[in-house]
Amino acid sequence: MQHREESINKDNNLTAKLNDSSLKSGVKDALPIILGYLPIGIAYGMLAVNKGLTPLQTTAMSAFVFAGSAQLVSIEMIAAGAAVAAIVFMTFLVNLRHLLLSASLSLHLRNLPLYYYPFLGFLITDESFAVAMSKIESQKNKQRYFLGLGFTAYLGWVFSSAIGAFLTEFIDLGSGGALDFVLPAMFVVLLVMQISSRSEIIAAIFSAFASLFLALTINGSWNIILATVLAAFLGVYIDGNS
């Protein structure tokens, strides 16, 4: 009897160790993500302060929203004097891709206690998703791995935006110049990473031209929303006919 208890204890200890190693490898795998967030977060922080947010507001947005491209887009829209509803709707569209990331990730994170999901969900980004998809399969405790990965990346994002925002108080780089190219460059690489089929290329090209055309003909930022929705229908149509 005593012997059996001992062996159970041993098993529990072993499991605890394995759990810990999952968390730790998650934290370790987040380091390259932080390296990537650093310049983008700093650029976001500087742009946001230059376009009229306070450093505290800039950091708060990173802490609550945690979505780089949507945050950069919202900064541009704030500077252009867009309505709150338009900014929120645009954020929704830009972040709708998380629906797909979350759906793919759900295959690896099934049947967990419910309280895990808000945390795991909040931590889904393009980067944490990409790393998790290549590494999560070999982890003993997948949820702890993803928490370690996502939360470390999250801290990296909040800190790098804070650095950019508070630095601007001391060193004013002004707006314009190379910083303005951070966002287009990020769109380019996210776009290239998203595209995996011919119909997606056609939808993207259509969307680009539609967005340009609508920007030249209607007011506000609705060109992006309209172009996106139309292009997605075109994509479905092409896929159905090929």
Partner 1 sequence: MEIVKFMLMIVGMVLVTFIPRFLPLALLGKKELPEKVVLWLSFIPAAVLAALLAPSILLKNGSLYLSLENTSLIAFFPTLLAAYKTKNIFYTVSGGLIFYLLISFLF
Subset of 13-52 contacting partner 1 (CB under 8 A): 32, 35-36, 39-40, 52
Determine the interface stretch with partner 1 among 16-24, 155-163, 167-175, 198-206 (rule: CB under 8 A): 198-206
Q: How far is the CB of 9 from partner 1 (least distance, A)?
A: 32
Nearer to partner 1, 11 or 39 (CB): 39
Taking a C-beta distance cutoff of 8 angstroms, is the pair 231, 207 a contact?
A: yes
Q: How far is the CB of 186 from partner 1 (least distance, A)?
A: 6
Q: How far is the CB of 71 from partner 1 (least distance, A)?
A: 8
Residue 158 within binding range of partner 1, rule CB under 8 A: no
Nearer to partner 1, 23 or 40 (CB): 40
Nearer to partner 1, 117 or 166 (CB): 117
Determine the interface stretch with partner 1 among 2-10, 17-25, 61-69, 132-140 (rule: CB under 8 A): 61-69
Question: Which H, E and C letters describe the chain, residue by residue?
Answer: CHHHHHHHHHHHHHHHHHHHHHHHHHHHHCHHHHHHHHHHHHHHHHHHHHCCCCHHHHHHHHHHCCCHHHHHHHHHHHHCCCCHHHHHHHHHHHHCHHHHHHHHHCCCCCCCCCCHHHHHHHCCCHHHHHHHHHHHHHCCCHHHHHHHHHHHHHHHHHHHHHHHHHHHHHCCCCCCHHHHHHHHHHHHHHHHHHCCCHHHHHHHHHHHHHHHHHHHHCCCCHHHHHHHHHHHHHHHHHHHCC
Determine the interface stretch with partner 1 among 1-9, 15-23, 163-171, 227-235 (rule: CB under 8 A): 227-235
Residue 106 within binding range of partner 1, rule CB under 8 A: yes
Determine the interface stretch with partner 1 among 11-19, 134-142, 165-173, 211-219 (rule: CB under 8 A): 211-219
Six-digit token string for 199: 């119909």
Q: Site size for partner 1, by CB under 8 A? A: 94
Among 3, 4, 5, 118, binds partner 1 (CB under 8 A): 118
